[in-house]
């Protein structure tokens, strides 16, 4: 199974433990893109809606495309009651959007799963003149607030984290949007913090694509080691989160 598809195997766990984004980030994005009633928005790969409600609640014409069938069903269960909510279960790479055009297209840790040429060219074509492309992701730091625990967790990784297929994701370059016609590329940072118990942290680790497919006997030993390390550190691990927001736009003409 492709790494980008494995999230669909754990919709409930994904919904509960994947990180949300800061209110300040959404306040800035909504203001910057002037999103509200009468504006049309497309979210790429919303998962189970970690970045959906703040945009949906503006009253905009919200649209989403989600690859995973179970994630798609979870989105409908959570947001189907909203009259301005629309979602399709399909692959952005191949989906035919017809004549649809959007004022804002946004991605929360999703666009990097799409080949760069398709990601930027297709979003560019789908935007109205002056439309905004917003790309957000979380940079999590658990080393700084938990140095000894971090060291112990790395020992668990060294001993037991042995996936069958190497995870090579991470080469996507957001700034390359300007090579495809986009202008006014900007980067912003917002901040937050998460605190997990040992069991919560194990569950969160289980939402990472390469952790989901970790084979036995390593999988059980890995999660047992992670749980034990956090328990020995007082049953607490702190994450200092940086929410990165990239903004760029399609020229007015």
Q: Where residue 222 sits, what CATH number does that domain have?
A: 3.40.50.150
Q: Crossing angle for the helix pair 218-232 and 147-160, nearest 10 degrees?
A: 170
pLDDT at residue number 253: 81
Spatial separation of the C-alpha atoms in residues 17 and 12, rounded to whole Å? 9
| Cα of 229 vs its chain's centroid, Å | 27
pLDDT at residue number 143: 97
Query: SS3 of 28, please?
Result: helix
Spatial separation of the C-alpha atoms in residues 162 and 215, rounded to whole Å? 8
Query: SS3 of 207, please?
Result: coil
Spatial separation of the C-alpha atoms in residues 44 and 64, rounded to whole Å? 6
- Sequence-distant (6+) residues with CB within 8 A of 138 are 19, 21, 109, 241, 242, 243, 244
Provide the domain limits for residue 115: 3-249
Taking alpha carbons only, the member of 41, 126, 45 closest to residue 89 is 45
Parallel, antiparallel or unpaired: strands 183-196 and 237-249: antiparallel
Spatial separation of the C-alpha atoms in residues 202 and 199, rounded to whole Å? 5
pLDDT in tens, the chain (253 residues): 577 778 888 889 999 999 999 999 999 999 999 999 999 999 999 999 999 999 999 999 999 999 999 999 999 999 999 999 999 999 999 999 999 999 999 999 999 999 999 999 999 999 999 999 999 999 999 999 999 999 999 999 999 998 877 766 668 999 999 999 999 999 999 999 999 999 999 999 999 988 888 899 999 999 999 999 999 999 999 999 999 999 999 999 8
Query: SS3 of 40, please?
Result: strand
Taking alpha carbons only, the member of 39, 58, 43 closest to residue 131 is 39
Tally the domains of the chain.
1
Spatial separation of the C-alpha atoms in residues 140 and 66, rounded to whole Å? 25
**The pTM is what?**
0.94
| Residue ranges of E strands in the chain | 40-44, 61-66, 85-89, 102-108, 127-141, 183-196, 237-249
pLDDT at residue number 167: 64
Spatial separation of the C-alpha atoms in residues 17 and 120, rounded to whole Å? 29
């Amino acid at each position: 199974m492709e790494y980008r598809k494995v999230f669909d195997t754990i919709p409930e766990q994904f919904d509960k433990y994947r990180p949300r984004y800061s209110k300040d980030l959404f306040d800035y994005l909504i203001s910057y893109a002037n999103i509200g009633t009468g504006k049309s928005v497309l979210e790429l790969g919303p998962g189970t809606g970690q970045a959906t409600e703040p945009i949906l609640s503006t009253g905009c014409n919200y649209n989403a495309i989600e690859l995973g069938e179970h994630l798609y069903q979870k989105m409908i269960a959570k947001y189907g009651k909203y009259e301005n909510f629309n979602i399709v279960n399909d692959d952005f790479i191949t989906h035919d959007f017809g004549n649809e055009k959007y004022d804002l297209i946004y991605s929360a840790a999703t666009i990097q799963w799409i080949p760069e040429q398709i990601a930027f060219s297709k979003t560019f074509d789908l935007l109205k003149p002056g439309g905004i492309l917003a790309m957000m992701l979380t940079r999590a730091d658990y080393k700084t607030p938990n140095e000894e625990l971090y060291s112990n967790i790395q020992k668990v990784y060294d001993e037991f984290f042995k996936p069958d297929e190497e995870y090579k994701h991470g080469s996507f370059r957001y700034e390359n949007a300007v090579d495809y016609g986009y202008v006014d590329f900007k980067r912003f940072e917002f901040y937050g913090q998460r605190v997990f118990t040992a069991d919560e942290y194990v569950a969160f680790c289980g939402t990472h694509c390469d952790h989901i497919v970790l084979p036995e006997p390593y999988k059980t030993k890995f999660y047992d080691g992670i749980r034990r390390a956090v328990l020995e550190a007082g049953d607490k691990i702190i994450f200092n989160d940086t929410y990165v927001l990239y903004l760029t736009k399609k020229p007015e003409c």
